[in-house]
Structure 1
Amino acid sequence: MQFLGTLSVRLFNAVVLLLVVLVLNFTLMHLAPGDVADTIAQSMGGADQEVLDEIRRDYGLDQPFFVQLGRYIGRVLHFDLGQSYFFNEPVTKLILERLPATLLLVITAQVLALVLGVILGVYSARKPNGIVSHFVTFLALFGYSAPVFWTGILLLIAFSLKIPLFPVAGMRDVTVDGGFWAHFWDVARHLVLPMITLSSIFLALYSRLSRATMMETLGSDYIRTAKAKGLTNRQVVYKHALKNSLSPVITLAGLQFSAVISGAVLVETVFSWPGLGTLAFQSIIARDTPTILGILFFSALVVIVGNLLTDLALRLVDPRVGGRK
């Protein structure tokens, strides 16, 4: 019952937070200089004020701010994110079409960073003065300092141009024929470089945190008691210490999910990956306000859901969370 009560409070807070994000995003977009009328006028080579006013009337931009905000919130409550000015399609359809590509990139990059980060962190914690430990330190420094788009460009130059092992851009090769496995390996080859690029900074973060938490856990009293009982180092590390040291890493992974999504915008642009990041970049250039707002709203929704799932994962990994006995 306590868990259900906590979950209900979290869901209510999530709904309130989504409404606040919705209002803030719309307000900031409204305050930003320029609108779709200016973009259309530029593409036409210029337009007089009457044409601009007519365009704004067609798109409802001549209405007062609170009228526009009220209409937008009403549409969102009916699961309608509006019509794209630039693509001339429903925003929901555009997001759902690009969503699988972004989820594939983000989830694989997050899983790669999390698994390798924990493995490197645990191994380096067992031998804090070894080569792996120094490598983890170097990896963390490189991951923090290297911009994700710079890493992507270097990987493109190295493994697509100099050593042509992987495709330069895109998600699929339209010339590939065959069944499921042929298309599967084609997508996998296109995915390798973007996945490594996006996971680089988070791999450094998780490995460093795993190393620190594991070293702290290995110095605990109950670990010394386990060793005194005659348990092997492997049993002590993987049966007792690892489970308790994972909680901070899982928490950080959930909190960093928003950073993964924002980083995907740069990675998708560099590799021409057909996901939400590329869609966001195109919409920003075209001043396509409904599409930008839809992507921001969806990103906020993903982050909030990710945080809720993180809380649930912590309750499963560490029974002390939430007061369970």
Structure 2
Amino acid sequence: MSDLGLSGPQRAARWVSVALRHVVQLVGVVLGIAVVNFFLLRLAPGDAAQVIAGESGGASAAYLAALRQQFGLDQPLYVQFFKYLGHLAHLDLGYSFREGMPVAELIWHRVPATLLLMGAAVLLAALVGVMLGALAAWYAGRWVDVVISALSLLCFATPLFWTGLMLVVVFSVWLDWLPVGGMQTISSGLNGWAHVVDVIHHLILPAVTLALFYVATYARLIRATIIEVRREDYVRTAIARGVRPWRLFRVHVLRNALIPFVTMLGMQIGSVIGGAVVVETVFSWPGLGRLAFDALVRRDLNVLLGILLCSSVLVVLVNWATDAVNRWLDPRIV
């Protein structure tokens, strides 16, 4: 049942019911993800003690045992799991023995960089993808459509790391227009707007690299959806009534074509986070993706568990926002 035809109190009660259902779903999702991630990572071969011993060139059995006791790795797996759940219930993500600080604090320091990269990439991909898809649909079957479709297929088929490396070669090595990596110029001492411009300067290549794949995906989706919507009866009725072409496209065609686009946008946030791991590694971007890669190499499982948990919560929250936007675009959606 949609919200159409409901009174004010009924609509409010319905929204409260939806919010409570979402909270219950969030708790279930977080618990399920915590269980799966914990056992997958703990059952993998190797641990932090072995990595530390390897970095030091070797270690005795007594030293390894002392390290495992210090990290709590000598306890049975179920004991470690229930301790982890107990800490999680108190919003404690554990302690990173490799970084020497709490996991929550470590993640908190890296979150802004990842959110900046993801936000810029998603915004760029959405704007360019919608414009290219709408343009291809408007000129369907003509050379503009053919060129956009070919470029979309090329971007869709190119791996992220290869795209990033080629952009670095062209714009950093050959043309020397943009920095190779990092988030800001080291020891620049910039403040205010100069610092903002410097960060944007470093953001361009990583954001474009991450966005190109999704530009191709969104352009193809918008093109197909607009062509399908233009064949609907209500669009033909609007044409017969003499609705102006731009108003017809903006109000009747594009608005309805955005519904599957918004749904896909929300569903792909998880893959955007995965892509951020590759992009942040290529460009030395100091975000959660780079932190996750380093934690995986160092077997810092507490950090990995914290990042996976926070990423999962972010995906769930974005999907809630997607549902809300879809209801705004079409109130008939339950």
CA drift of 1:184 comes to 1.0
Question: 192, 196, 199: which is aligned to 1:187?
Answer: 199
Partner of 2:6: none
Task: Report the number of matched residues.
Answer: 322
Secondary structure of 1:191's aligned partner: helix
| TM alignment of 1:152-163, pairs within 5 A | 152-163=164-175
Are positions 1:242 and 2:254 aligned together?
yes
Are positions 1:216 and 2:228 aligned together?
yes
The TM-score, its normalising length taken from structure 1, stands at 0.97
Partner of 2:16: 4
CA drift of 1:275 comes to 0.5
CA drift of 1:174 comes to 2.8
Structure 2: gaps of 5 or more residues: 1-12
Partner of 1:123: 135
Partner of 2:151: 139
CA drift of 1:234 comes to 0.8
Are positions 1:280 and 2:297 aligned together?
no
Separation in 2, partners of 1:90, 1:70: 19
The one-letter amino acid paired with 2:218 is Y
Are positions 1:252 and 2:264 aligned together?
yes
Partner of 2:31: 19
| TM alignment of 1:1-325, pairs within 5 A | 1-322=13-334
CA drift of 1:219 comes to 0.8
Q: Larger deviation: 226-235 or 132-141?
A: 132-141
CA separation of 1:177 and 1:55: change in aligned 2, threshold 3 A: closer
CA drift of 1:181 comes to 1.2
Separation in 2, partners of 1:171, 1:255: 28
The one-letter amino acid paired with 2:134 is V
Deviation string 1:241-297 (CA, Å, 9 cap, x unpaired) is 111110000000000000000000000000000111111111111111111111111
The one-letter amino acid paired with 1:254 is G
The one-letter amino acid paired with 1:268 is E
The one-letter amino acid paired with 1:318 is D
Separation in 1, partners of 2:97, 2:70: 11
CA separation of 1:53 and 1:176: change in aligned 2, threshold 3 A: closer
Deviation string 1:145-187 (CA, Å, 9 cap, x unpaired) is 1110110000000000001100011010134345411111101
Separation in 1, partners of 2:147, 2:23: 42
Structure 1 residue ranges, 4+ long, deviating more than 3 angstroms after superposition: 175-179
Secondary structure of 1:164's aligned partner: coil
Question: Contact 1:176/1:182 (CA < 8 Å) preserved in 2?
Answer: no
Separation in 2, partners of 1:25, 1:167: 36
Q: Larger deviation: 123-132 or 68-77?
A: 123-132
The one-letter amino acid paired with 1:192 is I
Separation in 2, partners of 1:115, 1:155: 21
CA separation of 1:179 and 1:87: change in aligned 2, threshold 3 A: closer
The TM-score, its normalising length taken from structure 2, stands at 0.94
Question: Contact 1:120/1:132 (CA < 8 Å) preserved in 2?
Answer: no
Secondary structure of 1:295's aligned partner: helix
Secondary structure of 2:185's aligned partner: coil
Q: Larger deviation: 231-240 or 155-164?
A: 231-240
CA separation of 1:178 and 1:30: change in aligned 2, threshold 3 A: closer
TM-align CA RMSD: 1.1
